[in-house]
Every structure is written in C-alpha cells, then in structure tokens.
Structure 1
Amino acid sequence: MQKKEGVMEKIVSLAKRRGFIYPGSEIYGGLAGTYDYGPLGTLLKNNIRDSWINRFVRDKENVYLIDTPILLHPKVWEASGHTSEFIDPLVDDLVTKKRYRADHILEENGVDAEHLTLAEMDAKIKELKLKSPDGNALSDVRRFNMMLETKMGAVEETSVHTYLRPEEAQNIFINFKNILDSFSPKLPFGIAQFGKAFRNEITPRDFTYRLREFEILEFEYFIHPKEKWEALFDAFLEEQTQWLSSIGVDTSKLTPFEHPDTARAHYSKKTVDLYFEYPFGSKELTGLAHRGDYDLARHQEFSGQNLGILEEESKERILPHVLEPTVSIDRAILALLLSVYREVPDKEGTRVYLAFPPHMAPYKACVSPLLKNKPELVAKAREVFLAFKQGLGWVAWDDNGNIGKRYRRQDEIGTPFCITIDFDTLGETPELKDTVTVRDRDTGEQERLTIAQAIERVRQASRAS
C-alpha cells in the first residue's frame, strides 16, 4: 500500500503523461471542474461502464436500460424539487469575492458540518471567527442552487428557460409510464441509465472527484410499497461493494456511511454511501437511497398523468417505492487508479505499474519486435500483432526504444502482458519456432509459449471473474 503523501500528484502526473486524463481546455489555460479523457482514459471508462451494465442490467432479468437527453422540460425540475432544494451552503470572501462552500470551510477547521443546517453553519463560522483561505472575513452563509441554466430556442425572447440535468433519476421517472406501456413489467423491476450530469459546483477540486460535468451510472428499482425493503437495500449495498472489488477498487478502503436525517436529500427515507479513503479524505464513492414514492407522486401531480400500476389482486392503482443505487464513473476511475498504483524497487531504481485486473486494463497486451531495425523481426511481429488484435481487440503495438523501456512504459499504463517476438520466434532455435516471450506485468516473470497459447493465455486472464 502506498503512502498517502504525494500519491495524488503522482496519479495526476501519470494520468496526463500517459494519456488517461487531461485538464479541460488546457491550451486556453484550463476550465475549472472539467477534464478530458485521453485514449487510455476513454478505454478505462468504457470498461468500467460495460462492467456495471453487465452486472446490474444484463445479468438481471428485470432491469431495462434507457438513454435519454440532458435537456428536460423545466417543469420536471419543479416537480422533483430541484429548483427549490438542490442547494449548497455558500460563503464569499468579502475582500477577494471568491466563493467557497461553508461546509468545506468548517471541515477544514475540524468541524463536522454533516449534520448542520445553514443557520448552524453560519453561527459556527462566526463563533470560531473563521476566515477565508486568503485570511479575509466571510459573508453570511446563504443558499446556492447548483443547477446550470440554459435557454432553448432560436429567438431569445421566446426561448425556453431550462437546466442541464443535475442528475439522471428524473429522466427515468418521466419514462416510467413508457416502460409500463411497452413492456408491462411486474414489480419489482428496474430502469437503468448512464450518462452526463452537470452541477455548478462552488469549488470544484480534487482532480476528477468534484467536477461540474460528470458521468453517472444508476438505476431505479421499483418495489411494492408494502414490500419489506430493508433486506433488498442491504443486498444492493453488498452488490455495490462486490462490483467495486471486481473492477479493482481496494475495498479495504471502503466505509459505509448512513446519512442522518439532517443530511439526507429531501426525497430520501434512507441513504447509505460507500466512502472511499482518498488521499484528501474519506469521501463518497457510491450512493444508495430509498426514495419512497416521492418522485412518481410529484410527476403524477405536476403532469396530470396517472403513473400508478394496476395491482392484480385489489384492482387498485399503486405508486411503487424506489431504491436507487448510483455511482460516478469519474470518482470510480480515481478510486481505481489510487487502488492499483504500485511502486516497487528494482535494479534501475523504482518500477511503477498499474495493477489493473486484466479485464479492466485499457490494453490487454502489447506486441513488440525485440529489435525494430531488423525487418524480419518487425514483419513477424506485425503478423503476431494482427493475430492478437483479431482475437483480443484492444492490443498495443510498441517498437519505440529498447525492450526494457517498452516494458516500463507498458507497466505504467497497466498492460497485463508484453509479447516479444525474437529470433527464436523466427526459428533460430528450431524447437522454439513460432513461440514468443510472454512477460507478466505484476511479477516481471517471462515464459515461452506458442503464438496460439499466448493469445489464449491473455484471453483467459482478460475474462471478468
């Protein structure tokens, strides 16, 4: 396990240098709270998303996957309560006019603000005579709505004033009736979605942890209002932990945290987050909430549409209750990078590698000729590379520098296996003709296999357990 000190800086540097994550709009000085995923980061994100879909949608018989837009009718956010309740506590530096979250100011000064109301935060800041990070007096604590506003329409005077969605859940609730009409599902069943959400964070920070644009994976699981939900809630919490473990997150760093009444979202009957021990503190990674029938009831009221399900026995319409497991891909990627980062001493100093489970690694293998100035080696290596690509998909080609540098480069991006084509592959030693060297990322050990055996070795290792 790595020391916390300096790990974030190393992760941020590696992520940019090796093409995982870049600062957003960097050539223009950057844009706070935004990051771009490079080629390897995009592959990693896709692997996480696919793993989640397989676990929580494909492998279940009663969860339906949908894909919906970022822009919704403005009444959706009135019905959901976001226009009045989706707030953070805001304070201003009275000199510099910089803005900060009041709860963050308190937490950084040793005060647990999780249970405090806005008025209590304001009183505590005044009691402790807290200052801004620049040492200046702070304003009173006030409400700040985090939704990002926009307008739709060709003419400003007649344009529709709406918001970029701050969550995906409402897209699911307003499609609830469509799923009922199309598929006639029986309770319990789920509706799942992945996609972008936007929040006008007061102080975006901590790399990809707190962003203004981020991607969420979540599903709403609809249950009978009289069903005993506690066991199902606990089962979802355990399944979230199992899924995080399967993608490579260090579950020894996870701690469940149940929100007290004063800190729960306005719709929630019960909320339990899984906190991950990041270098900047123990923070939320996944969420699990019992939303009751709040959302369906509100949309039924505001839309005038009947969103109830006809109960076969009583012939009455009921509004289901909802359990909601959710995770941010961006936070999961950061937790994963922190979990798999390794430094080990070797004869050249320190070897750095990312110990991804093979099925999560961006590239499953890398193919190289031992020497790039030998045409016969390069030709054979290209032949092997194409065979690996055909059999495995995401495979890297690397002939830059000597073989040792290639190994270290592939270690840093987490490639589980390096395949080297040498003169024995060409038949210099007759009994080794058409064999290759297979190097294991984690151990550095090498073995000799036929080309077909090497492909199968990588394929077997890359299957999700």
Structure 2
Amino acid sequence: MKIDDFASYCKRRGIIFPSSDIYGGISGFYDYGPIGVEIKNNIKQLWWKSMVTDHDNVAGIDGSIITHPKVWDASGHVDNFVDLFVECKKCHSKIRADHLVEDVLKKPADGLSAKQLNDLIKKNGVKCQSCKSELGEVSEFNLMFRTPVGPEGDYSSFLRPETAQVIFTNFNNILDTCRMKIPFGIAQIGKAFRNEISPRNFLFRLREFEQMEMEFFVDPEKKADCPDFELVADVEANVLTAKEQEKKHKTAIMKMGDVLKKKLIKSKWHAYWIGRRYKWFLDLGINPDKLRLREHVDTELSHYSSATWDIEYNYDFGWKELEGIADRTDFDLKQHEKHSGTKMQYFDEETQRRFVPHVAAEPSVGVDRAFLTFIADAYHEEEIKGKKRVVLKLHPKLAAYKVAVFPLVKKDGLPEKALDIYNDLRTCFTAFYDQAGSIGRRYRRMDEIGTPLCITVDYDTKDDDSVTIRDRDSLEQKRVKISELKNYIWGKICS
C-alpha cells in the first residue's frame, strides 16, 4: 500500500489526523486520533516495561524540553546538527540533497559530504523536481528550532533536537539519588523537535516527534563483562555489515552469539542491547523478513559514535532506519564535564578507581516511527467470499481495544445483557461497545482498527450464559461462558 493511501486509511479510521487540518495542515506535524493515541500509549508502556521496569539497574527520568543553551554547544549540536540541502534557482523550493540523489539517481547518499553531493547533482544534470529548473549549490542547514526565553528575550535557547542530552546532564543527579552501580542505564520518553528541510513519508520524518531512549553506562575496561548476553545469544537477525555494503548489500541470517564471536560487533554490551531491541520488535509481531540489522559505514557515523547499528524495516519506500543503537563512548560526559566545569565521573568502591563511564549502547527509537512500522506491518487486505476485508493484525498488546461487545439485535433485552458484560470487562481491558448496524459491519469496523476479539450476545446467551467470541485473524468463532471470559481474553492477549 502506498504511503499516501495509508495516511488516508489512518485518517478515515481515527488513527492519525493531519495537524491543523481545517487550515490545510502543516508539513511535518500530525495529531493522534482516538484509536491512534491508544496504540501509541501501548507502544510507550511496552517499551518502558521492557527497558526500565524489567531491570533493577535502569532508572527513568522525564527531562525538560528547553534546556540551557550551553548544553547544545557542549553536545556539538550547534556546530554539527545540520542537513545538506539544495534550492531551486527559479521556484526556490528546498530539498535535502541526499534525498534528492537517492530518489533521482537511486544511489545511497547517507553520509556523503556537501562536495560529493554537489558533484553527483551537477555531473548527472539533476534538476528541480517541482519545475525542472537548475539547482543551486549544496548548503548546510541547522535543524534546531531556536526560541527566545523570558518576556524580554533575555537569551535564546532551543527546542531539544534529541532527548539524550537531558540524560547526560542529569548523570550526577541519578548517581547521587539512586545510588546506581555500574553498569546502569538512564531512560526517558519525550518530545524532540527538528526543523526538517523536507519532512515526508507520513510519520517517518517529522518536525515534532517523540523519542524513546536509554543510555547504558559501563566501565570502559569491562565492556565485555555482560552476564545477561546469553538471553539474546540465540536471537536470529538478518545482518548487513559495513563490509558487505561495499560489495553486494547481501544480508546473512545470523544468531547474535555468532555476530559477537565473529567480532562484527565489538562490545558485548552493545551486542546485548542490539539483540534485545531486535527481539522486542519480533515479539510484538513484526514480520522477520522485513527486519534487518545494518552496520553504519564510516561516513555515516555521527560525531559522537564509535559504532552504530540500525534496526531497519522494509517500508513501501525502501529499507530505512527504525531504531539506532550507538556506542557513544565517553564523548558526551567528557564534553559536558569540559563545558560545565563539573566532574562527570563514577567512583568504583571495589577498585578505588575514578573514571568517566562509556555509553556502551544507546537504543534510540522514535515513537512515531515505531507506530508507523507496527501499523504498516499489521495492515492486510484479504478477499473473503468475493468481498475485500481490511484487517489490522496488530499484536493484541498493541491494539487500541482488546475486545468489543455487541448485542446481536437492539431488542429483547440483548443490549442490556451486552452492556452488563461490557461494563464488567472494561474494568480489566480497554473495551468497545457498539449496537449500530449489522453484525457483519460491526465486525469489519473492528477488523480495520485491529481489535483482536469481538463478543456477540445473542438469544442463546439468555439460556446458557455463553457468548460467541470471534477471532480477528482466523475468523474462528466459539462459545465461551460469561464467567470464563476474563481468563479467556487474558490468555489471548498474553499469547
């Protein structure tokens, strides 16, 4: 399904709306509808459980969107957080230079310099895609949104372009208040803002988005000391190394244990978190054939990273980053130590050593991009008895409603019985009640938003205290006692 058609489906079903729609919308901004916000919250809650509450050595924070401007000087964002763009000499439209090269020349362009992009555009005679006129020179554009602070504009700061820096500036606070022992992580979910030159592909590239990030700090001398690695050693992934990208772009199916043995990933902690994050997407139903691990080539590496691997998904518009997991070494803590004059160090009582920890792994994923991936992967069109059925085969844990309750007809006491069941179930599950239209149409509406189970109260219910439960994916229907409904639904959700 093309991305524009997919966006229309999301709007029609109350999943995603263009922001400020009555004014024609605004590029790079979207609003979550009643169905979308429930799915989004489920994604965030499942990530938080997987990354924070399931671990004794990970603490959560919720940092400020606006910080002291020196934070961004120290992090390198003021100097380095740029994209390269070209402007049409006639219509003055602007587009990211790497995207233009990829779209027109069908060549990978991520990480190319301004000169390399400029040479490719000139050599191949690439024109403006809007009016076919000549393009100007490739230039830099800083992606941070600047904002005045205070009624007199006492000073300028920025809307944060990432959530990670608030974690680093709170490093000492977490050490002091939580008494954390190395290795440990600090995680948060929060908004970030990037003034993208050309936001596109629906939710994939936005100007306002939400991130889920964790910084995992380790002793730089003990990056190989990861007792939990065996938990992910057998996780299989489609692996594309930097070396293979220089040749044929050929992926290999490998277990994470073998990836580590072959030293494709050099740090055991880095490999552990990569495997854990890859498994998270698989466990929530993502098609393994559309998921891969890709190593960044040298020209792609961010200024803070010694090694980065992306979990990529094969979208309608090609293989793109879903989540990045970087080894940030001690870059950030040392930068903030230097610029603030505050020591950002850890004292190991056992060895009596004082050192700046390394970030062995930074799993970073956009909530919106994860949302797009789960929805796109779950969307199916089927033909049943000559009729098209649209079904969103979301993992039950992600579904906006776990169960819907319908009376077969709007009379003879069936609505009253159905409402009793609905009100009882909603104490444990997100549930939906509907009595309008034919039962078939009600089923179809629930299929399109991903509700895994539908309960129908019929005339037999009065006699045997049973209801019909219909499964979204298999279409199988079975009778279940009302007294057993909660256990049955729990079993389906957790399977």
Q: Given the two structures, how large is their TM-score scaled by the length of structure 1?
A: 0.94
Give deviations 1:299-356, integer Å, cap 9, x for gaps.
0111111111113255342100002011111111111111111122112511111111
- Cα distance between partner residues in 1 of 2:416 and 2:321: 50
Are positions 1:422 and 2:453 aligned together? Answer: no
- Cα distance between partner residues in 1 of 2:306 and 2:120: 28
Are positions 1:272 and 2:275 aligned together? Answer: no
Q: How does 1:302-313 map to 2 (within 5 A)?
A: 302-313=339-350
Q: How does 1:176-191 map to 2 (within 5 A)?
A: 176-191=171-186
Q: Which runs of 5+ in 2 are unaligned?
A: 225-266
Residue identity matched to 2:290: K
- Cα distance between partner residues in 2 of 1:10 and 1:369: 33
Paired residue for 1:105?
100
CA contact (8 A) 2:84 2:114 kept: yes
Deviation of the 1:69 alpha carbon: 1.1
Paired residue for 2:367?
329
Paired residue for 1:404?
440
- Cα distance between partner residues in 2 of 1:379 and 1:125: 68
Q: Which runs of 5+ in 1 are unaligned?
A: 1-5
Paired residue for 1:136?
133
**Structure 2 vs 1, CA of residues 389 and 115 (structure 1 numbering), >3 Å: closer, same or farther?**
closer
Paired residue for 2:142?
145
Paired residue for 1:339?
377
- Cα distance between partner residues in 2 of 1:177 and 1:23: 41
**Structure 2 vs 1, CA of residues 164 and 115 (structure 1 numbering), >3 Å: closer, same or farther?**
closer
Paired residue for 2:421?
384
Residue identity matched to 2:89: L
- Cα distance between partner residues in 2 of 1:246 and 1:15: 24
Paired residue for 1:116?
112
Deviation of the 1:90 alpha carbon: 1.1
Aligned residues: 450
- Cα distance between partner residues in 2 of 1:117 and 1:286: 23
CA contact (8 A) 2:4 2:202 kept: no
Are positions 1:54 and 2:58 aligned together? Answer: no
Deviation of the 1:79 alpha carbon: 0.4
- Cα distance between partner residues in 2 of 1:160 and 1:145: 19
CA contact (8 A) 1:105 1:132 kept: no
The one of 260, 263, 284 aligned to 2:300? 263
CA contact (8 A) 1:241 1:251 kept: no
CA contact (8 A) 1:438 1:454 kept: no
CA contact (8 A) 2:461 2:467 kept: yes
- Cα distance between partner residues in 1 of 2:385 and 2:485: 28
- DSSP-derived class of the 1:210 partner: coil
CA contact (8 A) 1:250 1:336 kept: no
The one of 323, 341, 344 aligned to 1:286? 323
Deviation of the 1:118 alpha carbon: 1.2
Are positions 1:458 and 2:489 aligned together? Answer: yes
CA contact (8 A) 2:403 2:429 kept: no
- Structure 1 segments (4+ residues) deviating >4 Å: none
Paired residue for 1:443?
474
Paired residue for 2:430?
394
- Cα distance between partner residues in 2 of 1:315 and 1:40: 53
| Root-mean-square deviation over aligned CA pairs | 1.3
CA contact (8 A) 1:11 1:337 kept: no
- DSSP-derived class of the 1:226 partner: helix
Residue identity matched to 1:136: S
CA contact (8 A) 1:285 1:332 kept: yes
Give deviations 1:359-407, integer Å, cap 9, x for gaps.
11110000011012x05111111111111112x2310001110101000
Give deviations 1:262-287, integer Å, cap 9, x for gaps.
21111000011111100011100000
- Cα distance between partner residues in 2 of 1:173 and 1:236: 19
Are positions 1:243 and 2:255 aligned together? Answer: no
Deviation of the 1:155 alpha carbon: 1.6
Are positions 1:77 and 2:108 aligned together? Answer: no
Deviation of the 1:14 alpha carbon: 2.0
Give the stretch that moved more between structures: 109-118 or 45-54: 109-118
**Structure 2 vs 1, CA of residues 10 and 126 (structure 1 numbering), >3 Å: closer, same or farther?**
closer
Deviation of the 1:126 alpha carbon: 1.2
Deviation of the 1:115 alpha carbon: 4.2
Q: Given the two structures, how large is their TM-score scaled by the length of structure 2?
A: 0.89
- Cα distance between partner residues in 1 of 2:491 and 2:451: 15
The one of 187, 191, 206 aligned to 1:192? 187
